[in-house]
């Protein structure tokens, strides 16, 4: 999609719904070293969301009362949050995730998959950007 000026639009944020906003945000802060940008509260003072810094994009963890939705493999809509890593660091990242209670549930040649505290699929990937075809 292009803006009126003819330049491509940039992604502003990714949002994850969570019953326990603090717990999920802590997982991404601790495991993936994301820095907290801000917190938003409801008028009643309850925590509504925590925004984490992904560089030019925000990872927003927002309170949700909906039942969790588990996606295995490729699902419709958002189904994976994958972080870019160097191949030589893969074992260390897998160990970080496992230490945080996110055991590796699947592994491909370049990518390791786990779950955050609310069951969202998360991965670390050293998949080459210019690789022709194939699976992560």
Q: What is the mean pLDDT of the chain?
A: 88
Q: Say whether domain 1-67 belongs to CATH 3.10.180.10.
A: yes
- At 6, the pLDDT band (50, 70, 90 cuts) reads confident
Do residues 79 and 122 lie in contact, with contact meaning Cβ atoms separated by under 8 Å? no
| CATH for 70-136 (3.10.20.10, 3.20.20.70, 3.30.720.120, 1.20.120.50) | 3.30.720.120
φ, ψ dihedrals at 23, nearest 5°: -65, -45
Q: Do domains 1-67 and 70-136 have the same CATH topology?
A: no
| Statement: residue 133 has pLDDT above 70 | no
State the burial class of residue 19 (Cβ atoms within 10 Å of its Cβ: 0-12, 13-18, 19+): middle
Q: What is the pLDDT of residues 89-124, one digit of tens each?
A: 999 999 999 999 999 999 999 999 999 999 999 999
Q: What is the pLDDT of residues 28-56, one digit of tens each?
A: 999 999 999 999 999 999 999 999 999 99
Give the residue extent of every domain in the chain: 1-67, 70-136
Output the pLDDT for position 66: 79
Output the pLDDT for position 129: 74
| Statement: residue 2 has pLDDT above 70 | no
- DSSP characters for 14-76? EEEEESSHHHHHHHHHHHH-PEEEEEEE-TTS-EEEEEEE-SSSEEEEEE--SPP----SS-S
């Amino acid at each position: 999609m292009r803006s009126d000026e003819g330049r491509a639009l940039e992604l502003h944020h990714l949002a994850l719904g969570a019953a326990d906003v603090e717990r999920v945000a802590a997982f991404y802060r601790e495991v993936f070293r994301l820095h907290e940008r801000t917190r938003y509260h409801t008028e009643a003072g309850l925590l509504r969301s925590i925004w984490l810094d992904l560089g030019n994009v925000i990872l927003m963890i927002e309170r949700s009362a909906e039942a969790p939705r588990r996606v295995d493999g490729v699902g419709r809509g958002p189904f994976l949050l994958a972080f870019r890593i160097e191949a030589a660091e893969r074992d260390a990242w897998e160990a970080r995730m496992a230490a945080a209670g996110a055991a590796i549930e699947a592994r491909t040649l370049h990518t390791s998959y786990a779950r955050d505290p609310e069951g969202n699929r998360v991965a670390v990937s050293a998949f080459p950007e210019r690789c022709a075809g194939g699976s992560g």
